[in-house]
Chains A and B, each alone.
Chain A
Amino acid sequence: MPRTSDQTEASLLVREALGLYESQLIAYAANILHGDLERARDVVQDTFVRLYMAEPEKVRVALKAWLFTVCRNRALDVLRKEARLDLGDEEKILSFSDHRPDPASAADTNELGSRAWDLLDRLSANQAEVIRLKFLHDCSYKDIARITGLGIGNVGFLMHVGLKKLRELLTLEMEPTNTPS
């Protein structure tokens, strides 16, 4: 394929990806990076730069998963370098805080739903991540497996356990507390 055509296709792919996933990727990276929006933007910029250098026809078939995977890896690289943890110790690295919805908008949304998102903090890092990828970033199990490097069965297990625990936590919160007089 002529070089000029490749560059054109890459440019179109990057534009398309920017339009579709820019904000989602920043939110995803910000979650990993403890809410550091500026650094998250750097990571996402880096992600799109790498997209430019990838082969469009190979990436396009699973563009979303590719972007989230690269974004995740870059964000973890940043965390590793900053936290100086052992490489591969992703469970520790991914003990990031859940970002909270804007308090102003939370007032307009279902309080229970908002609280559910808050409670992701109480789950393990892997459980919280698969839940975010599923419900915040609309990823399928297959995408999540590709992004995180986990097996699909493992993703399903984490999802099941995570949602079950989330339900338990929500139920506990909704129960009236008996305070001794």
Chain B
Amino acid sequence: MNTDPQNQPDLTAYALGELDHANDAAVHAWLVSHPEAQAEVDEVADLAHLLQASAPVPTARLTSEQRHAILSGPQRVREMVAAASKKERERRKRPDLISVVVGGMKFAAAAAVVAGAFVLGEYYAELGTASSVAQNSKPVTHPPADAVVPADASSKAKTEEKVDVASVEPEKSAPQPVEAHPPSPIVANVPVVAAKDVPAIPTASAPIQVARVVAQDGSLAKATSPVLPKTSLFVFDATAQNTAQTSGTAFTIHPADTRPPAEPAQKGLAAPIRNAAASSTATVGKEKAPVLLIHSWRAEVAACPWNETRRLVRISVQIPGEQDAALTGGDYAIQVSFQPIHVKSFRTLARRSVAPVARDGAAVHTAWYEVVPNGNPSDVARAIGQVTLSNSKFTTTAMSLFDSSKMQIVDKGSSWEAAPDDFIFESAVVGFGLLLDGSAAAQGLNHTVVLDLAERALKVSDRSGERARFVKLVKDAQRAVGVKA
């Protein structure tokens, strides 16, 4: 374009770096002899920097069901579109007033869940009130990562609209899968097992406490804290494995551990999943092992914040808290394998299980891995591993055509900075646990790194203050070991 230095919009474009090289040089030369215009340009640049520095970070995510629908492939998308169109036609026939109320309550409940999750006592108290009311006849939705919307935003009434052939409505009556993780309480660091130089972590004032239970001889050591349920623990077990010897591992889901607390049946609540699961049994040999029902799952990969040559992998599985599989006391293995061509070695870092509060709520089981890539990292998305279900099936009817029991672990080469804030914050917790564990080969991991991660997540969101309390905890630990903050 022909840039006229005296053209104000062109000066603004110059200040914002929007001119091509030639025009940029021309304006630059002109400004040398026009200080008043340079001052104007400086003010525009200052405002631009202000806007950029204070821009809210978008963190809202699609629901797991929506993501799965997108990633399942064109054929499935067409099928879902057809199903959604049919559903929309049926929905148009009746008003959907209840969704206005439930939608608003669901959002409020989501905010309450995020607020309470890291403080154990408050977690159960808050969720017991908010989410059980919000659930009503709607499926469980764990709180999304903080969206860039007002906290008091309420869902609009679902007015009728013509359904575009390409629009897809998520399944409304089926459980909504987890979109993001509710932060789990971090349990007291009492006792520390097999760690030699564990700092004395002050616990009197910090509601967030770090727990570390190290697996011994393959079994989990029980947490001895009488207050904290084992389902809320981060369990650290950093055992390195070389993919040349073994490409896989498994983390175990013990549904009985994540059953919701017993509540009297509430009027209007949908029947627990267990009723639907009653007919879902698989016969294994002579024993009938109930099929594990699963709402959704997700695999996320990002650079390891304390060692850029490594990658962190988070596998999340959401299951109905109340189901037949939870009644039998059995274990269900989620197989995780890594491809030797892409992964040289890996180790399990931590596992976590979070029980639901509402009777028809969902539990979330998470496993963290550290991966050493084979060769140079690629900026092209590639599947580095796979998660396999056995004796399990998905609950959502929208996924009834989903017949794969495998999910690829795709590494897109994402930096940890681009990860959602809940991923970043959990990696801080995992890192802190490794510090307490005295885990070997945690190169580059120290309190400062943990603090940076937690504070970064804190800047994005901290509705209830739990992240701030974790930051304080880490700082206290830092001082306790004599590290200058």
Contact = CB atoms under 8 A, between A and B. Distances in A.
Interface of A: 7, 10-12, 14-16, 18-19, 22-24, 26-28, 30, 33-42, 44-46, 48-50, 52-53, 74, 77-78, 81-82, 99-105, 108-110, 112-114, 116-117, 131, 134-136, 140-141, 152-153, 156-157, 159-161, 163-164, 166-167, 170
A99 B125 CA distance: 30
Given A116-B50, A141-B18, A101 B81 contact: no
A5 to B, nearest CB: 13
Contacts of B155: 36, 38-39
A167 B73 contact: no
Contact of B48 (A28, A52, A102, A135): A135
Contact of B147 (A27, A78, A164, A170): A27
A169 B41 CA distance: 18
Contacts of B16: 134, 159
B18 A156 contact: yes
Contacts of A167: 43-44, 47
B47 A117 contact: no
Interface in B127-183: 144-151, 153, 155-156, 159, 161-162, 164, 166-170
A117 B9 contact: no
A116 B51 contact: yes
A37 B9 contact: no
B71 interface: yes
B71 A14 contact: yes
A100 to B, nearest CB: 5
Report the 7 A-B pairs with minimum CB-CB distance, sorted nearest first: A113-B54, A27-B58, A160-B9, A160-B12, A23-B58, A135-B51, A35-B153
B32 interface: no
Nearest to A33: B156
Contacts of B380: 12
Given A35-B150, A99-B148, A105-B459, A48 B412 contact: no
A42 B151 contact: no
A7 B78 CA distance: 14
A23 B61 contact: yes
Contacts of B9: 153, 156-157, 159-161
Contacts of A99: 56, 148-150
28 contacts: A14-B71, A15-B410, A16-B412, A18-B70, A18-B71, A19-B412, A23-B58, A26-B58, A27-B147, A45-B62, A45-B170, A48-B70, A49-B77, A49-B168, A81-B159, A81-B162, A99-B56, A99-B148, A102-B461, A104-B463, A105-B56, A110-B53, A112-B50, A113-B53, A117-B51, A141-B13, A156-B10, A159-B12
Contacts, number: 201
A157 B170 CA distance: 40
A11 B380 CA distance: 13
A30 B51 contact: no
B74 interface: yes
Nearest to B162: A81
Contact of A102 (B1, B56, B156): B56
A30 B148 contact: yes
Contacts of A156: 9-10, 12-13, 18
Most chain A CB atoms below 10 A, which of B48, B60, B156: B60
A159 B462 CA distance: 33
Contacts of B73: 7, 11
B149 A46 contact: no
B377 to A, nearest CB: 15
Contacts of B225: none
A44 B62 contact: yes
Given A45-B69, A104-B462, A113-B53, 4 more contacts: A15-B410, A34-B156, A49-B77, A49-B166
Interface residues of B, number: 70
Interface string B52-68: 11111011111100110
B8 interface: yes
A140 B18 contact: yes
A78 to B, nearest CB: 7
Contacts of B81: 49
B468 to A, nearest CB: 10
Contacts of B52: 135
A77 B164 contact: yes
B199 interface: no
A170 B55 CA distance: 16
Contacts of A37: 60, 107, 144, 147, 149, 153
Given A27-B58, A153-B1, A53 B381 contact: no
Interface string B74-117: 10010001000000000000000000000100010000000000
Interface string B429-451: 00000000000000000000000
A41 B60 contact: yes
Given A26-B60, A41-B66, A116-B47, A46 B167 contact: yes
B148 A27 contact: yes
Contacts of A40: 60
A108 B66 contact: no
B404 to A, nearest CB: 14
A30 B56 contact: no
Contact of B67 (A18, A52, A136, A141): A18
Nearest to A84: B159
Contacts of B161: 78, 81-82
A136 B150 CA distance: 16
A103 B74 contact: no
Given A30-B60, A102-B56, A46 B164 contact: yes
